[in-house]
């Protein structure tokens, strides 16, 4: 994650906004596949342009999803620092006086935004479903109409919300699974088990997507959508299998990176509430502290370094050492020569320690 390419979009209310280049690539790929279907359909290439606009609006909805995370983090007393619009979106913040319930509340605030958007647009989905003689819901031809566009946006917001609750890393549901295992087997083992569950589900999803894409022509022909794919929601479903493969690859990488981080840091890794700083682009990382310090979490500010000993304390320590050595010399019958020899020895060790520190 250290070389993660992002586009800086500005800073609002003290929070950086960055766009992941991977999302731009993914949207571009979906648009190309959409154009290919549209070129073989009666509706023309306009429907592919409408699909591209839909993807851009969906990206804005994912931004609102991350705003939900950031707002809840601020309500819980933490300080949001950056929102990265990635393939699921990531909100980074500095944890202050973190409580066990905080991660759950912050995680749920994002999907709640998508549920609200989906519910507000749900009447348009009902209108499209109830209409007769029109292109079916979630087909490219339907998206080219304003009612079909809003209906598809409603459906996609529900998919984003439910998908975030799935135990697929780095979605919010994976953190809930980690909490379940961590309560029984500790944080490290809980993380490793949650990552294994996530990897298994991602591999199953990727396998199904590969199978459907391999049989894509046969499936479309069987459904009667081969000659006019833009009029069939099945064609859109097939296009989004490329997105599933992309997400599976990124999800497996995120899970692997989190497992590696937790193995390295042990239980100290649990002090981070939200995405770990290691997942942040290098250019946006804070200068110090890759992991939130436990004292920062409990106190809300960096612990100040312990002050060095004052000159008076050093003089008093030297007098105490000299008195102790003189007492030993008197009790053992050793003379001033022994005393001087021990003093020189102690001074030499002190000088050596000083040089080592330099």
Q: At 20, give phi and psi (nearest 5°).
A: -75, 130
Least confident of 15-29, 99-113, 182-196, 268-282: 268-282
The token duo for 136 is 């079916």
Give dist(CA 175, CA 163) in Å, integer: 13
CB 158 within 8 A of CB 121: no
| Model confidence band, residue 296 (pLDDT cutoffs 50, 70, 90) | very low
Q: Would you state the pLDDT for residue 278? A: 62
CB 293 within 8 A of CB 314: no
**What residue spans define the domains of the chain?**
6-299, 311-357
Q: Tens digits of per-residue pLDDT, 63-88? A: 999 899 889 888 888 888 888 887 77
Give dist(CA 21, CA 136) in Å, integer: 33
Give dist(CA 106, CA 328) in Å, integer: 64
* Residue 332 C-beta-side C-alpha neighbours within 13 Å: 11
Q: Would you state the pLDDT for residue 158? A: 94
Q: At 90, give phi and psi (nearest 5°).
A: -140, 135
Average pLDDT over residues 7-11: 86
Mean of all residue pLDDT scores within the chain:
77
Give dist(CA 78, CA 71) in Å, integer: 10
pTM beyond 0.85: no
Q: Tens digits of per-residue pLDDT, 19-37? A: 888 888 889 989 988 888 8
């Amino acid at each position: 994650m250290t070389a993660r390419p992002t586009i800086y979009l500005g800073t609002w209310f003290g929070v950086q906004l960055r766009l992941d280049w991977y999302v731009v690539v993914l949207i571009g790929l979906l648009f190309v596949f959409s154009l290919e279907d549209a070129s073989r359909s009666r509706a023309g290439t306009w429907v592919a342009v409408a699909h591209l606009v839909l993807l851009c609006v969906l990206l804005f909805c994912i931004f609102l999803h991350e705003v939900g995370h950031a707002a809840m983090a601020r309500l819980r007393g933490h300080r949001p620092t950056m929102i990265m619009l990635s393939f699921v979106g990531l909100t980074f913040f500095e944890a202050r006086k973190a409580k066990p319930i905080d991660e759950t509340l912050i995680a749920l605030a994002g999907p709640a935004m998508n549920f609200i958007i989906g519910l507000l647009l749900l009447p348009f989905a009902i209108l499209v479903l109830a209409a007769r003689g029109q292109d079916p819901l979630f087909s490219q031809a339907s998206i080219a109409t304003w009612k079909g566009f809003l209906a598809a946006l409603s459906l996609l917001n529900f998919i984003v919300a439910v998908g975030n609750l799935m135990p697929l890393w780095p979605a919010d549901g994976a953190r809930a699974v980690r909490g379940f295992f961590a309560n029984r087997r500790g944080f490290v083992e809980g993380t490793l088990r949650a990552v294994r569950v996530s990897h298994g589900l991602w591999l199953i999803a990727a396998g199904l997507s590969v199978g459907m894409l391999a049989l894509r022509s046969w499936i479309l022909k069987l459904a009667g959508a081969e000659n006019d794919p833009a009029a069939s929601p099945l064609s859109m479903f097939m296009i989004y299998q490329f997105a599933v493969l992309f997400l599976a690859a990124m999800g497996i990488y995120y899970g692997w990176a989190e497992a590696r981080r937790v193995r390295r840091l042990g239980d100290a890794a649990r002090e981070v509430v939200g995405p770990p700083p290691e997942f942040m682009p290098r250019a946006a990382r804070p200068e110090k502290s890759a992991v939130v310090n436990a004292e920062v979490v409990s106190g809300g500010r960096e612990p100040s370094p312990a002050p060095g000993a004052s000159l008076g304390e050093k003089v008093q320590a030297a007098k105490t050492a000299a008195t102790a050595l003189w007492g030993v010399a008197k009790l053992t019958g050793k003379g001033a020569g022994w005393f001087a020899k021990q003093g020189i020895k102690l001074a030499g060790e002190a000088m050596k320690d000083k040089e080592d520190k330099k």
